[in-house]
Amino acid sequence: MIKSNSGIRKTDVINRRMFIIGAAKVIIFAGIVARLFSLQINENKKYLTLSDKNRIREWKLPPTRGNIVDYFGNIIAGNLKVYQLHIIPEQVENFNYLLLRLKNLLDLSEKKITKIKKLKSELKPWDSIIVSENLTWSQFVKINNYLYDLVGVKPVMTISRNYPFKDVYTHVLGYVSQPNEEEILANETVQERFVPGMKIGKLGLEKRLENHLIGTNAIQRYEVNAYGKRINQLEHQKGKQGSKIRLTVDTEVQKACGELLKGKAGSISVMDIYTGDIIAMYSSPSYDPNLFLFGISQDEWQLIRNNPLKPLINKTLSGLYSPGSTIKPIVALSALENNVIDTKFKVKCTGKIELYGQTFHCWKEKGHGWVSLKNAMKQSCDTYFYEVARLLGVDRLNITAEKFGLGKKVLGEYFENEKKGLFPSTKWKKNNLDRGWVLGETLITGIGQGYIQSTPLQLCMMTAQIANGGYAIKPKIVVDNNPMTLEEAKISMLGGELHGSDKKLFKNKKNIKIVQEAIFSSTNERFGTSYRSRIDDPKYQFAGKTGTAQVKRISKRERELDLELEQIPYKDRDHALYVAYGPYINPRYALSIIVEHGGSGSKAAAPIAKKLFKLIIDRHELRKKQSNFEEISI
Amino acid sequence: MYQKDRLNNEITILQKIKNLDYILIISVALLSIISLFVMYSTDGGEVLFHTKNHFIKLAVFFPLMIFVAFFNIKFWHNFSYIIYLLIILLLVWVSFFGIKSSGSQRWMDVYLFVLQPSELMKVAIILCLAKYYHRLKIENVNSFTSIIFVLSLITIPIIFVISQPDLGTSILIALSGLIILWLGGVKFKYFMYSFITFLISLPFIISFLKPYQKLRILTFLDPDRDPLGAGYQIIQSKIAIGSGGLDGKGFLKGTQSYLDFLPEKHTDFIFTLFSEEFGFIGSVGLLILYSIIIFRIVRIGSISRSNFARLFCFGYAFAIFIYIVVNLSMVLGLLPIVGSPLPILSYGGSSMLATMIGFGIVLSAKINHKQIIA
């Protein structure tokens, strides 16, 4: 009984203590439920966000570049579908076998194979390796045919830049290519939108207008696992294509320029004399920018780099030439404006003049006899302009020349490689060469030789501003939001005259007229230097001035030999220049032509203008209809 | 009256089946089914390695539970000490010849699966101490020698387990043992004193902890101090549970586990996956299921005539409760991370074996609840 009592007492103790524990259990479970409640109900949103942040990863895709079109809306820099070949290493069963197959199918080089192997060891197994960036259609078909045997290979279609007119616009557009680190860091927009494989503008307008053209990234959202491997694609956010840029250029004219300069080194620029629109701007020889898209091969690059005609230089903007006789209209205008000469002023040309112990030759050994301004311009008499320059002085000439755009950039900030050239003055020489001006230097400046240096585009603009009656224009290559019509341009110019703004480049309108007539005679009257290149039809009739720029000083012996062009080494031949505008009645376009080492302007450059003017004038009617065809956002 | 008792001793098989606790069996069966679904989800919605093995273990151990139930509770009483000693021997064996894995040596190969004797000790310690207090006179409960003896019984296996090293199981063994001390009637003030002593010596104990264990405690106090390293598990676990919301992301749709953000999702963090997919409602439902099981065990204990069965049931109910609390507190970020499985749900043969045997003994107590043990 005692034992049983003890057992009962013990049972009581156990039960009592169990009750206490039971209570504790309830409280603790309640605590756990409360914790669950706080995590799952109260803070659900926070953890849901964190969970999404965990599992959703965004991938940026390369943006699609905006198109560049010519004045007529033809795409001159567009986008093309390209076929690429990717390998996803983790799906490949036998990597070496696959490479061997691909090597045979695509003709891959041993170097490329090593590169792929290296990439494989660097990347994560689910990151794709780009084997070929640009498969031809036949290669793409071949790969697709053998796809069953190529496990882990993925043919991909993507978009790439394309220049349909190949070398025609290279010096205007530049090209795009893979950027290096510095180039990415240099542009904030590029830095923000850069993804591997993306290409950016390296040169020309492609580079200058990068931020307009670039477009925004498409974004793909993927569900990823804890190791960063993509599991599902969740959504695709489309990117916006970059802005479309419309240029003032006319592809037909540009193409014609390219053909006319084929095989030659040189440049042609064509400009609207009222609106400043650049119709064509061609530097020869050019090269195909498409070569740079997927990395140019060493052989092709050496071919371009070592070409003696220097295709890499944009001669229109960065080529510096002595203007030669093409400067004579400015010399004449300056002298007229400063009342140094008048139309009756005459100089006797004997073929040479001696001054301060130096002999200055006219191009015509026998001399021109007594010449007035008109005849001097027509036959490009050097002696006359020596004398005019002597009377005028270099500083007064400098003021007029700079007014007309010499020694200044024409397109301003659009092209990094544009040069501003040089028009000398006494002050300039003192400051830069630390020597006093010599009168002989004034004389050769008067015929466009010596220190004077100009770009072909400057000469084109100078001619345009003489042609439009002496008003300043602002050349442009990108069509802006409100392109001016001819009427608006003219009104703006006249308005400039009324308000005395700097649009007016002359003091006396008569002087411009005199110079224009002198230039006209040079092309359209007998004995004119470009008389042989004239067009009689008034619709196409133009006025122009030849120029022949000496590359080196002609020695006495050479002068006596009077060699034919072919007998002179290429490097020593003169540059041929021609500036012109037309039609003579109601002129609208100005051009400048330079053929490097082409010999004389009348033989090498002026005939090109004859061929070109017909086309330019014919295209004019089309161009008039085309203006304001759409809004451009830039 | 004596005759009736005598009759009770020889109840027929039919009566035994009738006497089984069906609420407990159904609850455990339900839990087993849930565990299969959850395992299926950890395998990414396919019947793979873990699901298959878990199923096989359930198929073996669930019948084992019933089998164990058919032994008279007297049998378990008689063999308690022997079972305890046997498992001590296994622990000794493991400490010499055990299989090593991820830095600890706690397993032995028994052909069918890899046995972890420390898991069995969690049940054996309750069995052993239940017998001891069943036989101890109430007057001697608070005697110095008895307390020291009981504490040694608890300490011996813990020494082996903690040297494996396995802090989580050690703590669970200690708590399982101490609860019997409490139920047996050891004075409250002794618990108070030892708790205070424990708190005072805590800095000293911490200095004895392994570096990774210290790191776990630091990480618990501030999981964000190293979010990709030590704090990763607890942060990801909280994200998974918190993002589950009221009704969860849906079966097989738990992104955290599916995308491998959850560590140890098959074992210690199984509740995280469950809670992510079934939300607050599912989690509370699971807790209710566990509560029913615990309540049933307590109830069987309270109708048992013998104090042995009573002590075992109460002790085992508390042990199950402690397993759940330690595991959930860990995944909910309420306690530092100590390895401790969730009964039945977590993948792991030894834990399931021990749990099922425990349930089996409880069922045996139910069948023989009128049994008096001298």
Instruction: Say yes or no: A75 and A137 in one domain.
Output: yes
Q: Which residues of A fall within a CB distance of 8 Å from B178? A: none
Cβ A51–B318 below 8 Å, yes or no?
Answer: no
Residue B326: how many CB atoms within 10 A of its CB?
21
Alpha helices in A38-152 (DSSP H): 44-55, 95-106, 110-122, 137-145
Burial class (CB in 10 A: 0-12, 13-18, 19+), B339: middle
Cβ A36–B275 below 8 Å, yes or no?
Answer: yes
Residues of chain A with pLDDT under 70: 1-5, 481-489, 491-502, 627-634
A442 vs A386: CA distance, rounded Å: 8
A592 touches A583 (CB < 8 A): no
Show the domain range for A224: 59-246
Nearest to B255 among A29, A35, A55 (CB): A55
Q: Among the three residues A223, A246, A269, which one is the final residue of a domain in this structure?
A: A246
Residue A345: how many CB atoms within 10 A of its CB?
17
Instruction: Say yes or no: A349 and A219 in one domain.
Output: no
Q: Which residues of A fall within a CB distance of 8 Å from B298? A: 18, 22
- State the total domains in chain A: 2
Amino acid (one-letter) located at A441? E
Q: Which residues of A fall within a CB distance of 8 Å from B302? A: 15, 18
Given this model, what pLDDT does residue A151 score?
81
Q: E strand or H helix at A75, and its extent? A: strand A75-87
Which CATH number fits the domain that encloses residue A81?
3.90.1310.10
Of B279, B257, B275, B268, nearest to B324 by C-alpha is B268
The answer, yes or no, to whether residue B4 has pLDDT greater than 60, is no
Given this model, what pLDDT does residue A196 score?
76
B198 vs A45: CA distance, rounded Å: 40
Instruction: Say yes or no: A237 and A370 in one domain.
Output: no
Cβ B179–A37 below 8 Å, yes or no?
Answer: no
Q: Among the three residues A246, A273, A298, which one is the final residue of a domain in this structure?
A: A246
A591 touches A543 (CB < 8 A): no
Q: Which residues of B fall within a CB distance of 8 Å from A51? A: 239-240, 242-243, 255-256
CA separation, residue B117 to residues A111, A472, B83, B105, B112 (Å): 60, 100, 12, 11, 15
Q: Which residues of B fall within a CB distance of 8 Å from A39? A: 238, 241-242, 332
Structure tokens at B372: 């008096």
Give pTM, 2 decimals. 0.69
Structure tokens at B219: 């990480």
DSSP lists the bridge partners of residue A83 as A135, A157
In Å, how far is B291's CA from the nearest CA of chain A?
9
Of A558, A46, A481, nearest to A245 by C-alpha is A481
Fill in the DSSP letter of residue A477: S
Instruction: Say yes or no: A213 and A318 in one domain.
Output: no
- Mutation target for B interface from A6, A14, A56: give the one with most B CBs within 10 A: A14
A116 touches A103 (CB < 8 A): no
Interface of A with B in 31-60 (CB under 8 A): 32-33, 35-37, 39-41, 43-44, 46-48, 50-51, 54-55
Q: List CB contacts of B334: < 8 A, sequence separation 6 or more.
A: A32, A35, B328
Of A423, A270, A397, nearest to A328 by C-alpha is A397
Of A581, A515, A582, A597, nearest to A548 by C-alpha is A597
Q: Which residues of A fall within a CB distance of 8 Å from B240? A: 47, 51
In a domain, A158, yes or no: yes
Angle, in degrees to the nearest 10, between helices B49-69 and B349-367: 20
Fill in the DSSP letter of residue A483: P
Given this model, what pLDDT does residue A124 score?
75
Instruction: Say yes or no: A215 and A327 in one domain.
Output: no
Fill in the DSSP letter of residue A230: E
In Å, how far is B119's CA from the nearest CA of chain A?
23
Nearest to A32 among B184, B302, B325 (CB): B325
Helix (H, G, I), strand (E, B) or coil at A135: strand
| pLDDT tens string B312-329 | 999 999 999 999 999 999
Instruction: Say yes or no: A174 and A295 in one domain.
Output: no
In a domain, A561, yes or no: yes
What percentage of chain B exceeds 70 in pLDDT?
95
Given this model, what pLDDT does residue A498 score?
45
Q: List CB contacts of B241: < 8 A, sequence separation 6 or more.
A: A36, A39, A40, A47, B272, B275, B276, B283, B331, B332
Where residue A412 falls (left for φ over 0; alpha for ψ -120 to 50; beta otherwise) is left
- Mutation target for B interface from A38, A39, A43, A232: give the one with most B CBs within 10 A: A39
A65 vs A77: CA distance, rounded Å: 9
Instruction: Say yes or no: A222 and A333 in one domain.
Output: no
Given this model, what pLDDT does residue A375 score?
93
The answer, yes or no, to whether residue B103 has pLDDT greater than 90, is no
| Arithmetic mean of pLDDT over chain B | 89
Given this model, what pLDDT does residue B209 score?
77
Angle, in degrees to the nearest 10, between helices B167-184 and B307-331: 140
CA separation, residue B58 to residues B63, B265, B346, B347 (Å): 8, 19, 12, 10
Which CATH number fits the domain that encloses residue A436?
3.40.710.10
Of A382, A404, A396, nearest to A424 by C-alpha is A396
Nearest to B255 among A10, A18, A51 (CB): A51
Q: List CB contacts of A144: < 8 A, sequence separation 6 or more.
A: A155
Given this model, what pLDDT does residue A315 score?
95
Which of A457-478 are b and which e, b meaning 16 or more Cβ less than 10 Å from the residue's Cβ?
A: bbbbbbbbbbbbbbbbbebbbb
Of residues B338 and B287, more confidence is placed in B287
A69 vs B122: CA distance, rounded Å: 82
Of A601, A581, A580, A576, nearest to A265 by C-alpha is A576
Cβ B238–A47 below 8 Å, yes or no?
Answer: yes
B92 vs A25: CA distance, rounded Å: 34
If you measure CA to CA, which chain B residue comes closest to A4? B374
| pLDDT tens string A312-330 | 999 999 999 999 999 999 9
CA separation, residue B123 to residues A24, A443, A620, B75, B147 (Å): 22, 117, 102, 16, 20
| pLDDT tens string B191-250 | 999 899 988 988 888 787 778 777 777 777 776 666 666 678 888 899 999 999 999 999
Structure tokens at B275: 């809670």
| pLDDT tens string A112-154 | 888 888 888 877 777 778 888 788 888 888 888 888 888 888 8
Q: Which residues of B fall within a CB distance of 8 Å from A234? A: none
Q: With bands split at pLDDT 50, 70 and 90, how would you rate the model's confidence at B3?
A: very low
Cβ A51–B246 below 8 Å, yes or no?
Answer: no
Instruction: Say yes or no: A270 and A399 in one domain.
Output: yes
Q: Among the three residues A216, A246, A276, which one is the final residue of a domain in this structure?
A: A246
Cβ B138–A6 below 8 Å, yes or no?
Answer: yes
The answer, yes or no, to whether residue B5 has pLDDT greater than 60, is no
Amino acid (one-letter) located at B233? Q
Which of B232-265 are b and which e, b meaning 16 or more Cβ less than 10 Å from the residue's Cβ?
A: bbbbbbbbbbbbbbeebbeeeebbbbbbbbbbbb
If you measure CA to CA, which chain B residue comes closest to A41? B245
A613 touches A580 (CB < 8 A): yes
Nearest to A11 among B241, B307, B329 (CB): B307
Instruction: Say yes or no: A280 and A191 in one domain.
Output: no
Instruction: Say yes or no: A448 and A581 in one domain.
Output: yes
Q: Which residues of B fall within a CB distance of 8 Å from A40? A: 241-242, 244-246, 275, 279-280, 283
| Arithmetic mean of pLDDT over chain A | 88
Given this model, what pLDDT does residue A628 score?
56
Q: List CB contacts of A586: < 8 A, sequence separation 6 or more.
A: none
Instruction: Say yes or no: A189 and A67 in one domain.
Output: yes
Fill in the DSSP letter of residue A247: B
Q: Which residues of A fall within a CB distance of 8 Å from B259? A: 54-55, 223-226, 231
Q: Which residues of A fall within a CB distance of 8 Å from B291? A: 29
Work out how many CB contacts closer than 8 A connect A with B.
124
ipTM: 0.91
Of A439, A442, A462, A464, nearest to A451 by C-alpha is A442
Q: Which residues of A fall within a CB distance of 8 Å from B179? A: 21
In a domain, A83, yes or no: yes
Flag whether residue A19 sits within 8 Å of chain B, measured between CB atoms.
no
A252 touches A483 (CB < 8 A): no
Instruction: Say yes or no: A148 and A261 in one domain.
Output: no
CA separation, residue A620 to residues A277, A459, A617, A623 (Å): 12, 22, 5, 5
B182 vs A13: CA distance, rounded Å: 10
Cβ B279–A7 below 8 Å, yes or no?
Answer: no
